[in-house]
Chain A
Amino acid sequence: MGLNEILFAACAGLALATALAVVFTKRTQYAALFFVTHLMSLAAIYALLNAPVLAALQVMVYAGAVMVVFVFAIMILDADELEKLMPSQGEGVTVLVSGGLGLLLISAFFGFANRFKLAEALAPAAKAGSAGLAEGNIEALARLLYRGYLPAFELTGILLLVAVVGIMVMAKRKLD
């Protein structure tokens, strides 16, 4: 096992632990902080998976901008009021349902992997084809984003604009 595998296992463990902590902690602020840790460990995993640009974006956009908005929302909403909300009635049923859902998902994944011989179908690409993954990642990403995926990129820009305008409208006007 190389250094990468050990780092990957450590980050995976941290990501799982903080994900569970988000779901089972009582306080909303703690949930937000655990989620920041979760996002950071995912960013480290992205870096290990040859996606350094996405790791940086994950830290800046998710752990930075998005979580700041979350913490602002926690400040505006009454934190004490939020903490009074215990899990719903019939918690046992929902835990069973969601746990069963998770088990189903995992078994479906492994069943799928066995059925379609995923290990062979997912044979790793020849190293020659992986140029631009690790080194020159940002150039390769930009070339693809601004050429083949330009319509998607432009649409994302329009979506962000619409979101900004929508938030302005919602913040200005009081709902009836």
Chain B
Amino acid sequence: MLNIDFALTLATLIFSIGATGVLIRRDPLVMFICIEMMFNAANLALVALADHFGRIEGQVMVFIVIAVAAAEVAVGLAIIIAIFRTEKDVDVDAISALKG
């Protein structure tokens, strides 16, 4: 039984670092990695609370989140590569095809 405050604080910090990365980086792949980091912070909070309450439901949720994240990564990277092939540009500030 580890200290729940410590684990939840760690999850909060990792989530904030991931959010910072999404905001300050312009490299689409690093932004995507930072989004994954935020996913992992949420997973860490779920696992810590599952341990704290001695119930396994949180771990089931993390299992499903990992599967969904794998699908999301595959689709997201396919979109990034498709944009790169048509735009010949990887700068997210320059990609404005979805602007109305």
What sequence of 0s and 1s flags, for each residue 31-52 of chain B, a beta carbon within 8 Å of any chain A beta carbon? 0111011001001100111111
- Whether the Cβ atoms of B85 and A152 lie closer than 8 Å is no
- Whether the Cβ atoms of A129 and B12 lie closer than 8 Å is no
- Whether the Cβ atoms of A170 and B24 lie closer than 8 Å is no
- Whether the Cβ atoms of B55 and A125 lie closer than 8 Å is yes
Partner of B66, one of A12, A49, A57, A152: A57
Partner of A156, one of B2, B29, B64: B64
Partner of B26, one of A22, A39, A87, A124: A87
- Whether the Cβ atoms of B55 and A19 lie closer than 8 Å is no
* Of B16, B81, B90, most A-chain CB atoms within 10 Å: B16
How many A-B pairs have beta carbons closer than 8 Å: the answer is 247
* Of B3, B18, B47, B82, most A-chain CB atoms within 10 Å: B47
B86 — nearest CB in chain A belongs to which residue?
A: A175
Knowing A46-B47, A77-B90 touch, does A124 contact B16 (C-beta < 8 A)? no
Main secondary structure, interface of B, reads helix
What sequence of 0s and 1s flags, for each residue 80-100 of chain B, a beta carbon within 8 Å of any chain A beta carbon? 111111100011010000000
Determine whether A106 belongs to the interface, using a CB cutoff of 8 Å to chain B: yes
- Whether the Cβ atoms of B29 and A54 lie closer than 8 Å is no
- Whether the Cβ atoms of B14 and A156 lie closer than 8 Å is no
Bound complex: CA A78 to CA B85 (Å): 11
- Whether the Cβ atoms of B64 and A152 lie closer than 8 Å is yes
- Whether the Cβ atoms of B70 and A65 lie closer than 8 Å is yes
- Whether the Cβ atoms of A124 and B1 lie closer than 8 Å is yes
How many B residues touch the partner, as a band?
Answer: 35 or more
- Whether the Cβ atoms of A49 and B7 lie closer than 8 Å is yes
Return B30 CB to nearest CB of chain A, in Å. Answer: 5
Knowing A22-B30, A102-B16 touch, does A51 contact B47 (C-beta < 8 A)? yes
- Whether the Cβ atoms of A133 and B50 lie closer than 8 Å is yes
- Whether the Cβ atoms of B79 and A170 lie closer than 8 Å is yes
- Whether the Cβ atoms of B12 and A106 lie closer than 8 Å is yes
- Measured between beta carbons, the chain A residues less than 8 angstroms from B47 are 45-46, 49, 51, 54
Bound complex: CA A6 to CA B23 (Å): 33
- Whether the Cβ atoms of B20 and A22 lie closer than 8 Å is no
Which A residues contact B (CB, under 8 angstroms)?
4-5, 8-9, 12, 15-16, 19-20, 22-23, 28, 31-32, 35, 38-39, 42, 45-46, 48-51, 53-54, 57-58, 61-62, 65-66, 69-70, 72-74, 76-78, 81-83, 85-88, 91, 94-95, 97-99, 101-103, 105-106, 109, 113, 119, 122, 124-127, 129-130, 132-133, 137, 140-141, 144-145, 149, 152-153, 156, 159-160, 162-164, 166-167, 170-171, 174-176
